[in-house]
Amino acid sequence: MEKATFGAGCFWGVEAAFRHVDGVTDTTVGYLGGTRDNPTYDDVCTDQTGHAEVVQVEYEPARVSYAQLLDVFWQIHDPTTLNCQGPDVGTQYRSAIFTHSPEQEAEARASKERAQASGRFVRPIVTEITPASTFWRAEEYHQRYLERRGMASCHI
């Protein structure tokens, strides 16, 4: 098993998208990239902690590659909007790839360049790519939020 961590707006919809990828064995929503230890949802929503809402994806590389996960990431959100996705605004909703190895970082950067060159995005991609720091698991009521409510997505 390996892990990948993505921020692409509200973590509920991002988690739902990755849960449907063959080869993904688990997903956990949480907070990453900020300065406060053990932040709560309320802390993160102040836009003062620096954390992003993220989904940590556990996957089997023999069944799904990191490159394929990156393809999903580019498809499920607009990486050209700074600190917002749809109606959600704030740094916690930023587009971000948090890497767990130098290989992931190189692959993420190359993938970002390909996505920009593809012509799919008119504006520049603003996705940050940074090494993963401490991942803080979100409160239990956020885990598999949409699934537990019988919803497929929360995107507009």
pLDDT of 8 reads 96
Q: Single out the residue of 44, 61, 62, 83 nearest to residue 4, CA to CA.
A: 61
pLDDT of 142 reads 81
Report the distance separating Cα 87 and Cα 20, nearest Å.
24
Q: Is 154 a catalytic residue?
A: no
| Annotated active-site residue in 10, 45, 84, 154 | 10
Report the distance separating Cα 63 and Cα 59, nearest Å.
8
List domains and CATH numbers for the chain.
2-148 (3.30.1060.10)
Burial class (CB within 10 angstroms; exposed 0-12, middle 13-18, buried 19+) of 54: buried
For residue range 72-131, list pLDDT tens digits in order.
Answer: 999 999 999 999 998 999 999 999 999 999 999 999 999 999 999 999 999 999 999 999
- Residues with Cβ within 8 Å of 127's Cβ and at least 6 positions away in sequence, in order, are 79, 95, 96, 97, 112
Q: pLDDT band for 156, please (50, 70, 90 cuts).
A: very low
Report the distance separating Cα 51 and Cα 47, nearest Å.
8
Query: What is the average per-residue pLDDT within 129-155?
Result: 81
